[in-house]
Each structure stands twice: as structure tokens, then as C-alpha cells.
Amino acid sequence: MGAMYGFEEMLPIAEGSTVRMKNRPLDVTLTNFDIEYYKGTGSPSVYASNLVVQENGKEIARKRIVVNDPLDIKRLRFYQASWGMTRDFHSAILHVAGKNLALKQNEIVAIPGTPLSVRANEFLPSFSVDAAGNATTLDYEGKNPAVQVDFLIKDAVKARVWLQKNNPHEAFQIQGNRLVPAAPPPFFLVDVDPVLFSGIQAGFDPGAPLFWFGSMWLLVGLCMHFYLHQRRIRVELVPFEGETRVTVIGWNSRIPADFDKDFRSWTGQIKKALE
């Protein structure tokens, strides 16, 4: 039933955005995504999604879901399946001219004491340079965060570089369509606050109730088989040379030796009654 009539649907949702399900007329919103890391490592210890589910513009469910604590509604189950970083960011902190500048995406900020301005354009979670000399990301887990920065004079771009958070003394300058390694710059990327996304898996399995119903009765049957003592006596009467032959058969659900004493007593009573 699950294979024929059920479905599983993956919903990658960025923070603050809404996606519509393909298999149900429901809108799912990720209000915010929470993540905590183990101390001293970059591995996440807990990540959770705050979801709002709407049907025809009306809110029908709201819950903070984590791994092993899904949201169940309308026979649908929403799991916390994965997470990652998008190519957008809330803010980036750049150390330049002896000061830290907070930059929002695509916002131009003047560098104090200089005629230059700076603008942060693009974010890559795990920066790398491919064989063609282009910037790319190896994954979306944030192993090597990098931001593409423009330096401007009166809105004219004078230099375009990629700065890496984990490699502050390494930069790549954009020249034409390729990245060229640059000399260690006098500025570096201090931190970046990326826009996260949550991988929500929605599943519908109409065969689940039948499965659990059958499993329950299977368990009941096993308990009855192992814990309830069953004994049976079968008596066959067969005509034989003008008389009747009596055959007695006994069956016991436990050890046969435990049944032998009772069986002999019953057959003795049958013989005595027939004499």
C-alpha cells in the first residue's frame, strides 16, 4: 500500500522562505533554523527547524522539529533529514584598514580613511577552484566559507577578490573569467553569517496502520503461543471385527514428558468407563 499509494517528498527550505508541496496542497515555511556545534569541532551536535504548515492560507500546524521528533499532521510526517548553507548570507565581517566592517549582502560600505568602498556579493560554503579556474563549492556544510568582495572607487569596481575565512592570508583575484592567486592581502574575512536551509522530508504511508495492526496481533499470537499452556485430547472410534476400537491421541504445547502423567490418567479413566 505504501509503494502504490504513498510518497516521500524532499523539501529544501531556506530560512524565512516558504515552499509548496507537490503531492499535497500545503505550504511549508521555515521561520528559522537552529544549529549547535560540538566545542572545538565544526560538527553539529543539534539542528532543528521551526516549521509552520498552512493550508489555503490558514495555519494548521506549528512545531520545532529535530531528528527523531517529527511533525505529524493529516497522516503526513515531516522529518528533519538534512541541513546546509545557501549561497546567500545575512552579514559578513571584513577586517580592513585596521577595523572590522560589517557588510550585508550587496551593500556598499565606505572604508574609513580611504577613498575606497567595499561590497560583499556572493558566498560559498566550501570554497574551491575547479579545473576551469572558476569558484565553486565542494558541499554545503561550511567547511571552507568564502565571500566574494568588490573594492570600489565612486561605484567603479577596481578589484574583485575571493576571501576565505579558514585561510585569511590566501586570496584569489578575479581576472576575466578565471581566478588568479593573489599576494597575501592586508585585509581578511573575519566571519560570515550564512543563510541556512533545512532539508525536510515529508512522507505519507497509508499502509502503516495496517502494518502496526498486524504487528500487534502477531505479538499477541506469540504471547499466547509461548505463555498459554495448550493441551488436546482426540478420541477416534473405529468399527473393528464387530466391535469398536478406541484410539486416544494426546498433544501438549510444552515438554511431552510433562504431559505423560495426565495423559495416562485420562486414558485409564476412559478404559474404566468402557469396561
In the numeric block, which cell numbers belong to residue 6? 504513498
Average pLDDT over residues 216-220: 94
pLDDT of residue 157: 93
Share of the chain above pLDDT 90, in %: 65
| Residue 257 per-residue DSSP state | H
| Residue range of the domain that includes 73 | 2-83+197-214
254 has pLDDT over 90: no
pLDDT of residue 5: 86
222 falls within a domain: no
Average pLDDT over residues 70-84: 92
| Residue 42 vs residue 137, higher pLDDT | 137
Average pLDDT, the chain: 91
Name the residue among 158, 160, 153 with its Cα closest to residue 135: 160
Average pLDDT over residues 37-48: 80
Same domain assignment for residues 175 and 91: yes
60 falls within a domain: yes
* Length of the chain, in residues: 275
Helix (H/G/I), strand (E/B), else coil: 214: helix
Helix (H/G/I), strand (E/B), else coil: 78: strand
Share of the chain above pLDDT 70, in %: 99
Q: pTM of whole model > 0.75?
A: no
Name the residue among 48, 66, 212, 188 with its Cα closest to residue 118: 188
Give residue-wise pLDDT tens across range 160-190. 999 999 998 899 999 888 999 998 889 999 9
Which residues does 63 contact at the CB level (< 8 Å), separation at least 6? 50, 51, 71
Same domain assignment for residues 105 and 164: yes
Query: Rounded to whole angstroms, how far apart are CA atoms 260 and 272?
Result: 18
Same domain assignment for residues 73 and 203: yes
Q: How confident is the model at residue 44 (pLDDT cuts 50, 70, 90)?
A: confident
Give residue-wise pLDDT tens across range 87-137. 999 999 999 989 999 999 999 999 999 999 999 999 999 999 999 999 999
Same domain assignment for residues 18 and 61: yes
Domains identified in the chain, total number? 3
Query: Rounded to whole angstroms, how far apart are CA atoms 72 and 78?
Result: 7
pLDDT of residue 26: 95
Beta strands at 188-204 and 146-153: parallel, antiparallel or unpaired: unpaired
Same domain assignment for residues 182 and 124: yes
For residues 110 and 97, is the Cβ–Cβ distance under 8 A? no
Inter-CA distances, 187 with 20, 109, 165, 194, Å: 43, 15, 11, 20
Same domain assignment for residues 191 and 209: no
Q: Where are the alpha helices (DSSP H) in the chain?
A: 2-5, 208-227, 256-274
202 has pLDDT over 90: yes
Same domain assignment for residues 74 and 208: yes
Which residues does 139 contact at the CB level (< 8 Å), separation at least 6? 84, 125, 126
Same domain assignment for residues 8 and 31: yes
φ/ψ (deg, to 5) at 180 = -120, 130
Same domain assignment for residues 99 and 167: yes
Same domain assignment for residues 55 and 92: no
The type of residue at 105 is Q
| Concatenated DSSP letters of 117-174 | EEEEEEEETBEEE-TTS-EEES-SS-SB-EEEEEEEETTEEEEEEEEESS-TT-EEEE
223 falls within a domain: no
Average pLDDT over residues 224-236: 85
224 falls within a domain: no
Average pLDDT over residues 58-65: 95
pLDDT of residue 42: 66
Helix (H/G/I), strand (E/B), else coil: 49: strand
